[in-house]
A and B are shown apart, each in its own frame.
Chain A
């Protein structure tokens, strides 16, 4: 491990530790926003693990997330709570493997549309099953507080960063970067491109499902239309791209300002939140193609060029 890696590892641990202290300072509004940020950070970071290097834009986050909330909704009375995110992760990975094997041969816009359709498909299936069984939504009444959820998310976030860091150093991570640059070259260099993509898609799906499982008690009442809301998929993509997917810390740099702005607009002009989503997207496309990470790297090259 180089000196720089050790430094980054210590800095990340400090940042996470500091974030974990927040509930001692405030358990009201601040914690509520922080929990939302933690949730979106974990989702956006795990999304970027797959979509960042490969440039495959997945809109399936809501499908995995919704799956996770339903695992908790169905299991919280009969199973220990700690097992629910694990079960959700396994199911999420399974769903991702299934979808990945079918769709990762698709490229570009076809993949995007399919993943968007997937969330809708899962939602329709759940609704249909509920209609058949005469069930409506589900109450998830637990003694789990927002503070618990927040800490669980911080722990999951730490795990995601660790996994992302390990992947970045591994052959698998290098293979994904090659795939994102030129899939033909990747194949002819001996990379099993389908396998590499499916593995990463499974990791990202498993994390999103685990987040859903952890978050379910916060919603208290879950039903398909909220659990599988496609808005979440778009939020995650926009925030990850705003931060930048080139580095592990990119997504969180997008999540924090975006969530603050979103909260502000939701309070003062609740009908204009979608406008923010659209404007941010335009900003990314026209001004910040690499997100904040890209901006940082450009500035670093311009002003700190002598060091490299």
Chain B
């Protein structure tokens, strides 16, 4: 049986009186691609932020390979094998493209430094399709290329779990096809990925399983095909009339 890499149990996050995430439970097994979907404001990004350590959960447990990470500082969680991209791309503008990726390699889960880190970074940049623009200043990269750099940075520490927070958002149709193919190739490599996504094509073709959130709570879980045909899921996405 596949090994459970991430275990989320009864996780709740309150911001003052607002419950952003309520009693979430799910598992992620090795080599699995799990999608977290749901309408805007349903708590998906907050869930990602709780897993990566941006915020501490108000209650509940999150285990990465058996180690409790709920409430730990983000850098500790990163060192235990977590890596992420951000909903709004965050690159390091004063650093070169290669240095941006080395930043992901030097301090995280599998640490590399010097020539080894640089080789790893160049390798990954080739891998995500940036071989041509490796020496371009960060400020001159196109939108999809900034996303690729961020992805390469997250991959640079060989994470146990990769969190992609709307990595495909904002791409035009051609770029979207490229982007989906890229994530697909990561999936084929056997990486364990959690992705928050709105793009339905991507969810159908990439995810082994989906967790559907609405108002902070899980309302469905299963294969993309199954959950997307559940009346409750259609209701929260499209309104009561269409269910």
Q: How far is the CB of A20 from chain B (nearest CB, A)?
A: 34
Taking CB atoms, residues of chain A closer than 8 Å to B157 are 189-190
B106, A171: Cβ atoms closer than 8 Å: yes
A190, B92: Cβ atoms closer than 8 Å: no
Taking CB atoms, residues of chain A closer than 8 Å to B75 are 186-193
Taking CB atoms, residues of chain A closer than 8 Å to B52 are 188
B94, A181: Cβ atoms closer than 8 Å: yes
From A177, A180, A184, A191, B107 is in contact (CB under 8 Å) with A191
Distance between Cα atoms of A188 and B153 in the complex (Å): 11
Q: Which of B75, B102, B108 has the most CB of A within 10 A?
A: B75
B78 to A, closest residue via Cβ:
A190
Distance between Cα atoms of A279 and B123 in the complex (Å): 49
From A177, A178, A180, A187, B74 is in contact (CB under 8 Å) with A187
Q: How far is the CB of B112 from chain A (nearest CB, A)?
A: 10
Interface flag for A185 (CB, 8 Å): yes
Taking CB atoms, residues of chain A closer than 8 Å to B108 are 189-190
A308 to B, closest residue via Cβ:
B135
Interface flag for B103 (CB, 8 Å): yes
> What total of chain A residues lie within 8 Å of the partner, measured CB to CB?
18
B82 to A, closest residue via Cβ:
A188
- What does the 1/0 interface line of B90-105 toward A look like (CB < 8 Å)? 1111110001001110
B94, A190: Cβ atoms closer than 8 Å: no
B92, A182: Cβ atoms closer than 8 Å: yes
Interface flag for A222 (CB, 8 Å): no
A-B interface contact total, Cβ < 8 Å: 68
Q: How far is the CB of B7 from chain A (nearest CB, A)?
A: 21
Taking CB atoms, residues of chain B closer than 8 Å to A174 are 99, 102-103, 106
Taking CB atoms, residues of chain A closer than 8 Å to B109 are 190
B163 to A, closest residue via Cβ:
A188
Interface flag for B79 (CB, 8 Å): yes
Interface flag for A175 (CB, 8 Å): yes
Taking CB atoms, residues of chain A closer than 8 Å to B78 are 187-190
Distance between Cα atoms of A184 and B75 in the complex (Å): 10
Distance between Cα atoms of A187 and B78 in the complex (Å): 8
Taking CB atoms, residues of chain A closer than 8 Å to B103 are 174, 178, 185-186, 189
From B73, B91, B94, B107, A189 is in contact (CB under 8 Å) with B107
Taking CB atoms, residues of chain B closer than 8 Å to A188 are 52-54, 74-75, 78, 83-84
From B84, B86, B107, B153, A175 is in contact (CB under 8 Å) with B107
From B92, B99, B106, B113, A185 is in contact (CB under 8 Å) with B92
Q: How far is the CB of A293 from chain B (nearest CB, A)?
A: 13
Taking CB atoms, residues of chain A closer than 8 Å to B86 are 184-185
A177, B94: Cβ atoms closer than 8 Å: yes
A-B contact pairs, 24 of them (CB 8 A): A171-B113, A174-B106, A175-B107, A177-B92, A178-B92, A178-B95, A181-B92, A181-B94, A182-B91, A184-B86, A184-B90, A185-B86, A185-B90, A185-B92, A185-B103, A186-B75, A187-B53, A187-B74, A187-B75, A188-B52, A188-B74, A188-B84, A189-B108, A189-B157
Shortest beta-carbon contacts, A-B, top 10: A190-B78, A190-B107, A190-B108, A181-B92, A187-B74, A190-B79, A191-B107, A185-B90, A187-B75, A178-B103
Binding site for A on B (CB under 8 A): 52-54, 73-75, 78-79, 83-84, 86, 90-95, 99, 102-104, 106-109, 113, 153, 157
